[in-house]
Structures are given as structure tokens and as C-alpha cells.
Structure 1
């Protein structure tokens, strides 16, 4: 298969045209010597004028020019995946065609980028594209500068790529000489600096001097790796002394000046002539979108342990990770308890340590690099990530294979920590990750083969070929492979690194199916490696969380090519990006990074002004005048930086980037503090202290036998024992044409085997039902005598089923067979008061509501801010303060602050409390309200209904005990004013 390049793509052609236009009308001097480039004066006024004209289309804070010695610096900023290599290759051709330049040096930061650049420029399909489709009547002669091999006896010759580059004649109009060099060769060793070569090259013994004499143009790829204060950049500027440096990159270095409060950090951009931002790239569908997905943790504690290193038979090192908390490291030896890491591991110790694994006293084996939840009995979290990646792959592959006219070979990348988990060791022991992957892949293949209809018979045959040879479906590349002599590994590496066309072909040269599409690496495949047909990346490794998120997804952003080599640009594609729960905010960070590139000081364009004016039904001129008078903009339509926040708050339609209303984080709001109004609390004091009085719940004595029988019946139900299910959360990046946003879409669910120790199983049922352990054990023994219960079904899921079924029984059978009795214990500190009964200063916002309403609430309200959990609660807070004169004081009851025991085994706390008086002021009434966002009581779940019945009984008992409280349930079709009026008129 030959790849087919598209010519004159707008975003690429504009970059080339802009670069070349900088030299329009500039004096170009023909070379005096055959090996020299034509020359120009970088102080030429026409050149400076051209650059200034070009920069009129560049955002204000990215404009500017600094003198950098005797060379000209031009910058091109293009996002990963949009074709930088193509652009600078075409620029080379165009600069030669229009101005005669034919000596170019390309500097890259790594061997991977070097290999990718060489492959692109040298490939026959690229040469044909530029000569035939683009009409350039010349060829690039590429020289690849590589590390010197061990010197043999005899003469020391200057490296041939340097000799050929320097001696190539600029008078040969059909040749362009390009030298490709990586950073390491510019800064290390003496290949370019030594002067003891036995042969001259154009009169030079020293390579750097020979290269300098060519007056070359240097192209720097990935400029963030070539900061100006680094040795590599200094070698280019001081040793090569080119006429011009053109930097192409998605990311540029940052420069800081000053100290302390005077410190300023900015992008190191110099003569930026073209910018294609990440936001524009996504908005214009020039690259794939991104759909991040992670599994929610099996434990709500959101913790997991990773076995990072093993010293054979000696010690093992673990990382203990929590979301949003620094990772802790523990080193344990054989015989040590895992409870050192977390108390949940009490009773589990390391029984043995092998070469790359440990054995635990509960029989489990954990391999180096493996992650597991703090619930040690859970299935591997990593296994579920692999399973999810396989599922997402086949969803995409099936569409790419059967759902279009021309098929797309679909690839997956797995990034892992431990090479030993994938590569077989010398002792022949099967790596656990490879073994797990092949097992899960075969299971999925067999399942899918059986599901396909006859209309997808060709795809079925492709899957059958995959299942027949699982090992052929995947391959790995790791840095150590470069020194591996194994022939099979060498073939894998060559296919991944160098044979892009082969990797994305559906067929091998002999006509058989090419099923290799799952690739494993240790983050080695980064800048410089790309394959347009990567549709899924599963990040099974831990990464530096401060890495650029765009760099991380960059390996999969390019638009795909079909089986004929055509780039598909008229569809919207998504990259599936799978992470663990510690990076649940990955998508948000990616959106923030993309939108963070948007300019701080913006210029309004007339199109946007017209759109907003139309939406607001005003004249555009009047809107402009309004913005000008409010000092939001100046006469040049530029947004005033000092009023920027106020401007976007009042006119959100102009927002560029992520709209704050589109992406919210309720967890952050929960930590805010809200003030308790001490002036109004005394009116609530008696009611508050009364409903906080501790009460006990008592059942009728004859229920004991019925409980035993009920448990007996529950255990014998067919659907009680089973396995647990886990769910993933999937977030897709979307755009409204201006800014990037997030949209949550449906994830997946998997059934897991998650057994519990028998004693733990019984304890969990006991703790949530209060059924005595002896009663539960006796019931389980009787069950075992009647039928077999699989050990794997003694798990969380089964325990939850038993607890739920017993709760349902208890709700049904005990609703009228219980009573409340007041405790003699005094009321101590509460959510609103200190131990002495005085009101607290503040309360956490999350305890009274997760959402805010701007503004100040009524003076009758207990708090100084309005926080709520539902629209019904918001209406209650706003309407009560302004439309019900009889209310003396009211407030939201903090969550879980009133512990009313209930028959469902959970405590209960209502939502609102009111103190009201009749219109003549003769009678004070106390009202407690529970809000339910449903239309009628029949919609309430059994548990909720039972809790409300318990609350009714509880407040009835308060009245019997001498303190009258009226309890009401408010449904969505009833306003709180109606409830208060009904109580007043009773």
C-alpha cells in the first residue's frame, strides 16, 4: 500500500506561503562559491516590513522580533498531528524554487524523530508527491549524520554525509542538499569539532567549519527541546552560524525574567509568522478528537497499590496512590505485613519474593508493575483497563472495517511500566501482562466471531485469522530492544518504528491477513513516532502528571488513512484514551491546556460583534458603543486586559475557550465556607436542640424468630449470589466552534470476580443489618447442606444483595412494629453549635448544598449564602424569604446532622426547618420539611418511603414528649408556601 499525500491543504499551504512571502522583494545575492547558499541581509528593510505585515494576523502577545546575532529567526507554531514535517519539507522545496536556497540542515531532538523524518523525506511516495503532484522539478538528497563507528586502522575520513552535503553544488538546480542531525551529535563527542581528519573538504579539516561555510538554513523540529540556553541551540547558533533558523513546533520553550513579584514568564517566540493552535486544530477537525475514559475505583476510598520494584528474594517496593494526594513509597521484606501500607491489609503478609513477583499469604501472586486496589481481594484494576481497551478497539475496528467503502486498519497503543511484564524472560516464564492480554483478546475475538451477521463475513474471516495466531496480533518496542539480538524482536521493532505502511496494511505481501494491531511500549513511542491509524491508547503506566497532556495524546491525533492510502478528512474521529482513576481529571486538564493557549488579550472581530448583537436584538453599532463606554474594549476592538473578567461575565457570548458553565467541578465548591448568621439562630435554637435529642428505635420482641426465618428464605433465592460489576466513565472533547468543552457519554460495565474471606462476608452483613453473626453463620451452614455456593460468590455483590433483600423485608414487615424512646443523654456539639450550645461561625458549603445562587439571601435565612442540591430546594430558599411573611426564621438542615434511626438500618435527616407565627402573632409553630423531586408519593422508592414513615413516627413521638413539630414531605408539585399555610390554618 502506498500512502497518498494531499496537496494544498489549507492549513499547511498557508504556513508554507506565509514563510516564503517573508522574502518577497528582498534582495537575494547569488553565491560566490559553488558550495554556498544564496545570501540575504537579515536587516533588509523589506524583510522587516514583510514580517511586520505577516504579524498583523498574529495575536498581540505573540508578536515581536528580537535580534539574535547575525541570523534571522522565523517561528511556525503548529499543533501535533497537523503535518509539521510535510510543511517544512514543502518549505524546503519552495525556498529552493523561488530563491535558490539548496543547503538545509534539519536538527531534531531524538533518534525516534530522526528515524521518522528520514523515513518521510526518503520515501518514494513522498518524492513522487513533491515532484509530480506539486511540480517541483528537483530532488532532495538527504544526508543522515550518525554516531561514528569504531575507527578502523588507516585514514580518518570526514563523515561522508558531511562531505556530500558541503560539496554539493548550489549550481545544480535539480538538487537540494539536506543534512539530518540529532541533538546528541551536536553536543557530544568530537565528530563535528575535531580537526585531525586526513582529508580536506573544500579546504576545511573541521566539520563545523565546513558546514558553517555553506551558509545554510537550519530547521529545528520540536523547539521546546532546544532552549536557547542549551548546548544544542548554542552549537547551532555559534558553530553552524546559519543565515536563518526556522523553528517548527507545537510547543516552544518558556523564558523567565526578573525575580519574585517582578518575575515574568512568556513563550520564547521570535518572529512568529504562522500559528495553528490546538484549539483551531480540534475545531477545524484537522486532528482526531479525544474521548478519555477511566474505571471508577472499586473502593470509594480511591486508593490503589502498585508493586514497582522487586529485589530478588530480598525486598519489594510499593507505591501507595490516592487521587489528588502525593504518592507514598514503602519497601517491605518477606514476612512483612501489607498493613504497613494500609490497615485494610491487616492479616496479609508477604510469604515469598521472587525475581519479579511476590507471593502473599492469601495465595495471590503480584508481579512487578501490577496495580491493585486496597481491597486485596479485588480483581486487578489493570486487567479491567486492558479489557476496556480491547472492547473500545473492536467497536472502532468493526466500524472501520465493515462500515465504510474503503477499510481502515485500526491500531491500539498500550503504554506500560515494566518490560518484564510483556517480554519473556530468559527462564521462559510467561510475562503476566502478555498472558492476561492474550487471554482477554482471545475471549473477545471468539465472542465477536459468534455475533457477526453474514453481511460481515469478511470481517469474521479477519477475526478468525487473528484468533488462529494470537501472538501475531501484537508487538512491542522498548529502548532495550535496540541492543537485542533476538530476530523476532528485531522484526517487531522494525515494523513498529520503520514500516508505517506495512503496519497499517490489512494484508501481508503474500496476501494473508496482517493482524498485528496491538502495540506495547514503555512511553518510548513519543515525539517523532506517529501512526495515523492509532485509535486507542491505554495508559497502563504511571506518568509524570505534569507532562503536557497534548504531548501524551499526540501519538494518536493524526487523521487516519484508508486501505488505499488516502487521508480521510471529511469525518470526525475520536481517539479513545484510557487512564486509571488517579487521572480522572485528564480530559479537563487537556481542555484547560488547549484553551490556555488562547490569548489573554483578545481582539473582537466584526463577525462576532454582529452575531452577539443579533442574539441580543440590538444594533451592532450600539453594542460597540456600549462596550466602548463601559471600557471593556478600546477603539481598536481590543479587550482591555484590566476589565477582561468583567467583560466575559457580562457578555459570555464572546467567550473564547472553555465556558465556565460548560465544565464545573462540584467537588471544589464543597470545601467553601458559609457563614452562620448568629443574629437569627436564637429563633431556631429550641427547635434545633429538640430535633437533635438522641432517640432509640425499639422493635416488638416477637420479631426475633421472624428475622431468622426471613434470612433463611433470602439465602435460598436464585439471584442472591453472583459477581460484582464495575463501570467506566467516558468524557469526550467537543467544540462549539470556538472553545473546547467536555461532554460525558456512556461508558461500559464489566462483571468481576471479587471474592471475600468468609469471616469478612459475614461481618459485612452483620454491620449493615444488625443480624447477629451466629444467626448469619447458622443460616449459611444450613444453606451449604442444601446446595453448593461457589467460593467466588462469597463477595461484595452477594453481601449487598442479602443486605438489600433483608432491608426490603424489614421495611415490609416492621413499618408498624417499632417505636421511639428518648435517651437521657444531653445534646453535645452539633453541625450548627458548639458543645455549650452557642452557634458556630461557619459551616462547609457541601453540607447544605452543592450548587450556588449568586446574591444575598433573605435576612430570615440562617446562612449568608444560598447553597442547594435541587431546583426545588432553591425555590424554597428564594421564595420563603420574600413571599411568606409568617416565617420568622428558616434554614437548610445540614446533611446527616440529625440522626433519626430508621427501620431500614440507616439514619435519616430531613432538609428544611421553619419557625413560623400566625398572622396575629399568637402561636409559634415548628415545621420540618423533606423535599422530594417527584410528582407523587407512589414514585418514591421503598427505602425512601420507609424513612419518611419513620420520620413521621419520630416527630409524632416528639409531640407526645411535649414539643410539637409538624413534619411534611414536599413533592415537586407543591410549593412550600402551601405547606406553611396549611399548618397555620390547622
Structure 2
């Protein structure tokens, strides 16, 4: 039984639009009959060339009409490439227009440009086409598409005569045929085959009776089809393209670095929303609560002038008390303990950074290569990913059997040796998992792991006759080419179920469902029935998310070769070794970055320099998510000081009352603290370290941004408890207390007592770091409550030894205000003020509440003067520095001895403790204890100021 055969739908509207977008550019061009042209030089070159008779005015009008029709901002000029080239007649100025089609990966870009070739021939008689590709992988993919579309195109176009072939420097008769044939000729070339002076195509040769192959190509005035032209933008590449003396260049890519007159655009988000590609789910396989050992991943080594640095991802202790995966930059001599604030890294002192060999060595003799990890429980993660991929595969195959769809899974691996060697961990884990799972699903039980898996690696044959699988670096070696050829030949077999008429070799190919590859398959090859992609490669792999996803995003086909448009079927699951949020954010960032490069090329300026009008046009055309938010420029607005208001008696009196700095003292009831802490620690849910799997769906918003929507709760895939030596728990707790903000110290005896009295000691043994983190968080919360309850302030100027202190240590000097004659403003809202009200002409507001508060202050007649307190005006508290909001002078409504009120006011959206962040409320309580507050019932160190918390100005006295 033969393999399935691809069927193609000639009526997909978006593909027809893309074909018409190019062909309609030449509206008015007459159909050119084949006519031999002679170019007399050193030798007479006979050719049947392409020809374009339209002038620039007509071509530009056609371009603008097509762009308007397709919702693209019309260009004001044609984009030409101009270079001086060497021809048979000597030097010549080559000049040719460029037009671009932008189509998301997986939507049939290659099909579209091959169909465009034949449509240009049908409409206008154009015959000579060169498909230029940046890599061998893409060349093999294009050639495969030419083969599988041949029957479809001959039926669609009435059996036209066209030939296609790969350029081969050993078969130069192809070049003569290309120039002199009157049929449609499609030659596929890599850029490397003609971009150097040493290339065979540039040399005169006896094989062509002394002719230079390049001159024959030039004589044909070929139309260039540039596949992935963003990889052909260097000066050398552009010069090489010009040497072919093309009639024009048609550029096809998912994202263009230089847009060159875009005529059609199908963005990733639009293709996704229209269901033209598979929907994406991300199954995130990650470690949770597993900070008990030091974790490191070497991301990159950078050299700049005489400085060498390395970027390393670590688990860093943040000021909040949480441990977070963070990338840090290190130099020789740096201590990771100091960089992370964690004692677990004490032995990791950077000893050597070697950019040539690509490694970092630490003083403990541990060495990390670029992309390598330490402490990642790699084997456990690999096992979880592989098992989950196999199970997803088997479940999906059972569901899709009745539709005649064969499911494929693709594994991207970190190192070929982890699969190809006899003890390769990835192959061992796969075989074990497959044997464990196959009995649960009908149809798999009789198969062995070796029958269902295949690997496509570059291979090198040794002198001994043995073959060695290689890690693919460039993707351009002869060994890589052999790997591409193998998987291209097997493409239809991979899509077919075994049948009764199959010979042994065919049956073996059809049984393969699980494909393993290194980076060789990052481009140029895809398969519509890839439903799972498992990324066993490091997250810093050179393979981008879009390249990975691109291998399986094309819509699925059934056994008849018919493409299915069914959203329930077309779901690609990525089994990733990182959080689904990070995966999708990186995926979106890659798209945005590539589009930004295109936009910068189009406008000739950086994104940050676009005008408001240019930004509006870009967002209309590309979607809002492509451009980053416009940053507020430093010093964009400046508040100017009204010096006369500062020197007024009202302000002087206000400042005299609020200027004093204070010290605080607190009382702690240790027994009460222990009782509260232990009660809550015992109720805390402290999970053991584990590997979890969480499923999320990727959605495309109307603004063009891809986001993740969680579909399931995290489920356990592996338990990591007991895999590491237990640390000294009290040392760990003390370290967490000291290295978070604010740092707090308790005696080791108190910390030991917390553990001794705690009831959940098993959790402390299973996951000591998480237990210590939770315990310290609770200690700090309960301690903060006690500190705030018992805090008392005294003026520094009233304390012992005050007479010997300089004034600026006892209070804030008014000259600090007078020195700030202009203040740069960075706040979200800026409000203008009246001269009789405010010290500054503009007031920064960080919220709508503050903005309305300022407007209401301006409207109240009893407000004599107000000041948004400067950033340096702070009050020390046991829970960090507190910056009060406003100082206000008001007329009193009471006919008393003091007709003026002096207030320090805090504006909040709510007065309820439960609706404020814990530290916000605690700092407010400390502010009340510092200034004194009738509202909060606290006596303060500053007796002649009243401290209030309000939501609106009408709540003032």
C-alpha cells in the first residue's frame, strides 16, 4: 500500500488574495511571447528573458491600489535595490524593484509563491524564476513542496510546461537550460551558492564552452523569489542578489526586517483568530517549591572591550522574602552568595569566565557550559515531560482515529548524545515510559518503543565504518543535508497508517509516531500532523519559540491528504520546561521584536522616535500589541517653585511644626508572638518539592497580543522530597530574616523555639526551605503587628546628646525646599495649581484619588496652602520608611484661640484596613504615632500637627 498523497485546496481566500496582490501589481503589462534575445559580449549569449514594460508611475499606482485594497498604508515610492555589477559586457548598474508578502508560518507561504509564479506566467508570460533561500534546510523544504504540488498545479493551470530543480554547481547544463528554455523554469538556490567570488557560478568554465554561468542567468532577467529574506539583508547578501541582474525581487516571510513595499499581510494573530493555523496549548512542566539546593543556568558570556561577564540565572532571595528565578551578571571574583543573598551559594565564587570555550568555572571546580543547568533535577523533568507527551499523544490518537488522522509528536532534545548513545538518558526514559503507558491505550500494546520512534540527526561516518550522530550547529553541513533529505523523503510515510499491502520497509516508516531531533529541524521542515512538541532542549536554546511552534502549526490532514478545518482537531500542545506564562510572553516578545525591526526599517528610525501620528498608523496596520508603551521622558514636565509662598509666615509655621525627625522604640511580648506564629505555621499548607504540570491555552486578543489562559490546576507529576541533604534550619531562618526588607533579627533561641513547638515537622523535613520561608513570613507579619501596636516616637532634638548633633540630623531644613526650584515630574497625572494655594505650579498625582483630591483642595476657600511632601521627607518605621502625602494649612471653623489647622494628610482609595495592603496600614499607624492623630487615637511626638487619612478633600475638617 502506498503512502497518502497531499491534496490542495485552490480556493482558500487568503492564499488567492496573496497571489493576486503580486500579480495585480503588473496590471497593464502585455503578455510576452517567448523570443530569443542575443547579448553580444566576449561570447554571444542567447536567452529567452523576462520583460517588464510598465513605467515607474504606473507601477507605483498599481502598488498603492493593491495596498489600499489589503488595508496597508500606501507607500510613497517604489523600493529599488541598485548595485554596480559585472556582466558579459563589463560593468552595469543593476536596478530592480522589490515587493513583499507577509504570511504567518504554516499558512502556505511556499504554496502561494509557487502558485504566483505560474499565475505570472499565465497572465504576462513571465518564465524565469529563481527561488533564493538562506539555508539548505529551507531549500529541501521548497523542493519537497514543488514535488507534492506538481499534480495540483498542472490541474489548476491546464497542464503548463514548467521545470524545477536545485542549482547544482556540478551540473551547469541546468544554467544554460534556464536561460534558453521557453518553458517556465524554477531554479532553487541557496544564497551561499552565488555570494562569493570563488563560487563556480561566477567562473568561466569549459563545461559551458568558456561561458560564465552567472552571465547566462543575468541574460534571462530572472524574477527572484526570496524565501525568508530577513536573512539576506547584509550588504554582501544584497550585492549578491544584484549580481543576478533580476527583473524584480518578490519577498516572502512571516516577518520582514526591511518591508520593501508590502502588498499583502497576514499577521500571526489574524491567522490564529481565523483558524488558519492550529490553536496552541502549553503544558508547563516545572519544579515547584524546590529551592533547597542551589540552581544555576549559564545563559550567555559577553565580551566588551576588556571586560568579560557572564549572565547566569539563579534563585535569588528578594526583599519580599520570596525566592525568585532571576538572571544576574557576574565577573571573575564575584560571589553568588552575595549576589543572591542565599547561603546555599556559599561555595560558588566565579573563578574563570572563558568566552572561547563557552564555560564558567567556580572556585568549587564546578563548570557550566552555555545553556547548561545545575540543580534543575533534569532527569526528573525530562521523565515528566516525556511521559506527559506520550500520554497526550495516545489520548489524542484514540480520539482522532475515526477521522483518519495519524498523530505525530516531535521532541527537541538538548544534546544528541542524550538520545543517540547507548546509555542516552532521553531514549531510556522514552522507552520506559512508552512500555509503562502502552497497555492503557488500544493499538499500542503490541509495539515496542524502537518501532514507534525515529531520530533525524546529522551523522558522520568514521573511518572504522561506524556512524556518529552530531549536534547540529550551523544546519548547513553535508551531514545536515542528509538528515533533511531523510525526513523529507519520509514525510508522507509519517502521515500514513500501516496497511496490509506494505512491505517491511514501508511498514517500518509508517509505524513511526515519535520524532526526535536536535536543532536541525528548527526551520525548513514541518508536518501538518505534529500535535505535540516536547522541548527537552534548554530554555536558552538558539531555537526560538516561533521556530519550534512552526514545525507543527500547520492544519492537520487525514489519510486522503485532505486538510481539516476543525478547531476541535487542530490543537498543538507544547510540553515546555518553563511556566506557561513565561513561554507565551517570550512567544509574544519574539513576534513583537521582529515586527518592530520591520517598522524601524520602514520608517528609518527607532520605535521610540516615532511620532504620535506614526504610532497611530502602525497600530492601525499591525495591531496595538506590536508597539511598547510610550515611555514618559525624564524632565518632560517640571514643577517650578513659588519661592514667595515658601517664605510666607504660613509656610514657615507649617514647616516648623512638621520638620522634626524622630526615633522610635518598641516593646515585644515574646510569648504572645510565639503563640500567634506557631498557631499560623501549623495551619499553613506547605507542599513538598515537586514537579507539576499545568495546561494553558494561547489566545490572541483583538489588539494582536498573544496571552495565556490557564485551563487546569497544577497536578503532581513527581515528588522531589528527600533528594537533598537537610540544611541547618535555624541558619536558614536567620538568613531569611536578615536578608529581606526590612531586616529583622530575633535570637536563635526564639527561632529554635518556633520549630520546637511547631506541629508540622514533617513539612520542615520534606521541604525545609519552603517551611523556613513560610515561618519567617508569618514571624515578620506577626512581629510587624506587635511593633506597630507598641511603637513610640520621640524627637531626636529632645533625646540624649541632641545638643552635639548637627541640625540636619535633628530636622529637615527648609533650605531643602528652597533648593528645589525645579522638580522633574514622572507621575501618571500632573495637575496645575493656583499661586495662592500651592508651593509649586504643578503637582504630581499617582492616582485618580490624588488627582481629584488636588482639584478639590484648589476649589476649597478654607485651604490656605498645601504641599505634596517631597520624596526625601520620610518617617522611620519598624516596617520600612514611610512617605506621608500632603501637608496642609487650613482656616479653622471653630472660633478658638488657634484659627489655623496644620495637617499632615494621607490620601487612600479606602479607609478600611482590609482593603489596604498590610504594610500600608501599618505605616499609616506609625505615621499617626509620629505626628499624633485624633482620628486614629494616637498621641504623637509632634504635638501641634493633626494626622488624618482621607479619601476625599471634603473629609478634611
Is the counterpart of residue 740 in structure 1 residue 735 in structure 2? no
Correspondence for 1:693 among 661, 665, 669: 661
Correspondence for 1:968 among 940, 943, 948: 948
Alpha-carbon separation, structure 1, partners of 2:390 and 2:654: 60
How far does residue 653 in structure 1 lie from its aligned partner after superposition?
13
Contact 1:901/1:907 (<8 A) preserved = yes
Is the counterpart of residue 129 in structure 1 residue 152 in structure 2? yes
Correspondence for 2:19 among 3, 16, 27: 16
- Give matches, 1:117-156, under 5 Å: 117-123=142-148, 126-132=149-155, 134-138=156-160, 140-146=162-168, 148=170
How far does residue 241 in structure 1 lie from its aligned partner after superposition?
4.9
Change (3 A) 1:228 1:771: closer
How far does residue 697 in structure 1 lie from its aligned partner after superposition?
2.6
Is the counterpart of residue 319 in structure 1 residue 311 in structure 2? yes
Alpha-carbon separation, structure 1, partners of 2:457 and 2:186: 29
Corresponding residue for residue 555 of structure 1: 550
Alpha-carbon separation, structure 2, partners of 1:726 and 1:672: 47
Corresponding residue for residue 799 of structure 1: 772
Correspondence for 1:94 among 116, 119, 132: 119
Alpha-carbon separation, structure 2, partners of 1:896 and 1:405: 71
Correspondence for 1:528 among 520, 524, 534: 524
Alpha-carbon separation, structure 2, partners of 1:953 and 1:228: 67
How far does residue 26 in structure 1 lie from its aligned partner after superposition?
1.6
Corresponding residue for residue 773 of structure 1: 747
How far does residue 135 in structure 1 lie from its aligned partner after superposition?
4.5
Contact 1:306/1:371 (<8 A) preserved = yes
Change (3 A) 1:118 1:681: farther
How far does residue 925 in structure 1 lie from its aligned partner after superposition?
1.8
Correspondence for 1:306 among 289, 293, 298: 298
Change (3 A) 1:121 1:775: same
Change (3 A) 1:865 1:396: farther
Corresponding residue for residue 619 of structure 1: none
Corresponding residue for residue 228 of structure 2: 222
- Give matches, 1:560-959, under 5 Å: 560-564=555-559, 565-568=561-564, 587=588, 590-591=591-592, 593-594=594-595, 655-659=620-624, 664=629, 675=639, 677=641, 679=643, 680=645, 690=658, 693-699=661-667, 703-707=669-673, 719=685, 734-736=700-702, 740-741=704-705, 745-746=709-710, 758=729, 760-764=731-735, 766-767=737-738, 770=744, 772-776=746-750, 778-779=752-753, 782=756, 791=765, 793-795=767-769, 797-807=770-780, 809-810=782-783, 819-823=792-796, 824=799, 828=808, 838=818, 840-841=820-821, 852-853=828-829, 855-857=831-833, 859=835, 860-861=837-838, 865=842, 867-882=844-859, 884-892=860-868, 898-902=874-878, 905-906=879-880, 908-918=882-892, 922-934=898-910, 936-937=912-913, 948-956=924-932, 959=939
Alpha-carbon separation, structure 2, partners of 1:654 and 1:361: 51
Gaps of 5+ in 2: 39-44, 68-72, 83-92, 303-307, 315-323, 472-478, 500-505, 604-608
Change (3 A) 1:742 1:481: farther
TM-score under structure 1 length normalisation: 0.67
Corresponding residue for residue 618 of structure 1: none
How far does residue 115 in structure 1 lie from its aligned partner after superposition?
0.6
How far does residue 794 in structure 1 lie from its aligned partner after superposition?
2.0
Change (3 A) 1:393 1:358: farther
Change (3 A) 1:670 1:954: farther
Matched residues, number: 848
Alpha-carbon separation, structure 1, partners of 2:63 and 2:696: 42
Is the counterpart of residue 42 in structure 1 residue 52 in structure 2? yes
How far does residue 119 in structure 1 lie from its aligned partner after superposition?
0.9
Corresponding residue for residue 77 of structure 1: 101
Corresponding residue for residue 85 of structure 2: none
Alpha-carbon separation, structure 2, partners of 1:968 and 1:213: 87
Matched position secondary structure for 2:188: strand
Contact 1:557/1:575 (<8 A) preserved = no
How far does residue 874 in structure 1 lie from its aligned partner after superposition?
3.3
Change (3 A) 1:968 1:920: closer
Corresponding residue for residue 184 of structure 1: 192
Contact 2:460/2:470 (<8 A) preserved = no
Is the counterpart of residue 64 in structure 1 residue 87 in structure 2? no
- Give matches, 1:285-304, under 5 Å: 286=276
- Give matches, 1:66-465, under 5 Å: 73=97, 75-81=99-105, 82-98=107-123, 102-123=127-148, 126-132=149-155, 134-138=156-160, 140-146=162-168, 148=170, 158-159=171-172, 161-162=174-175, 170=182, 176-188=184-196, 189-197=198-206, 206-209=212-215, 211=217, 217-226=223-232, 229-230=235-236, 237-238=242-243, 241=245, 245-249=249-253, 268=260, 286=276, 306=298, 318-320=310-312, 330=331, 345-349=345-349, 367-370=368-371, 402=399, 406=403, 409=407, 414=412, 419=415, 422=418, 434=426
Contact 1:862/1:889 (<8 A) preserved = yes
Change (3 A) 1:195 1:954: closer
How far does residue 86 in structure 1 lie from its aligned partner after superposition?
1.1
Matched position secondary structure for 1:184: helix
Alpha-carbon separation, structure 2, partners of 1:33 and 1:899: 89
Contact 1:560/1:567 (<8 A) preserved = yes
Change (3 A) 1:422 1:644: closer
Contact 2:350/2:362 (<8 A) preserved = yes
Change (3 A) 1:760 1:930: farther
The C-alpha deviation readout for 1:231-260, integer Å capped at 9, x for no partner, is x6656654x556665444456675xxxxxx
The C-alpha deviation readout for 1:380-436, integer Å capped at 9, x for no partner, is 7999899899989988997897499846847567586xx4784567xx6756xx599
Contact 1:531/1:555 (<8 A) preserved = no
Matched position secondary structure for 1:128: helix
Contact 2:459/2:469 (<8 A) preserved = no
Change (3 A) 1:719 1:590: closer
| Higher RCO (C-alpha 8 Å, min separation 6) | 2
Corresponding residue for residue 305 of structure 2: none
For structure 1, which segment, 907-916 or 501-510, has the greater mean C-alpha deviation from structure 2 after superposition?
501-510
Alpha-carbon separation, structure 2, partners of 1:215 and 1:184: 20
How far does residue 117 in structure 1 lie from its aligned partner after superposition?
0.8
Change (3 A) 1:330 1:948: closer
Contact 2:929/2:939 (<8 A) preserved = no
Contact 2:886/2:906 (<8 A) preserved = yes
Contact 1:413/1:534 (<8 A) preserved = no
Is the counterpart of residue 485 in structure 1 residue 467 in structure 2? yes
Change (3 A) 1:895 1:370: farther
TM-score under structure 2 length normalisation: 0.68
Change (3 A) 1:765 1:842: farther
Change (3 A) 1:471 1:712: farther
Alpha-carbon separation, structure 2, partners of 1:71 and 1:48: 16
How far does residue 111 in structure 1 lie from its aligned partner after superposition?
0.7
The C-alpha deviation readout for 1:522-544, integer Å capped at 9, x for no partner, is 4x545534445477696845489
How far does residue 120 in structure 1 lie from its aligned partner after superposition?
0.8
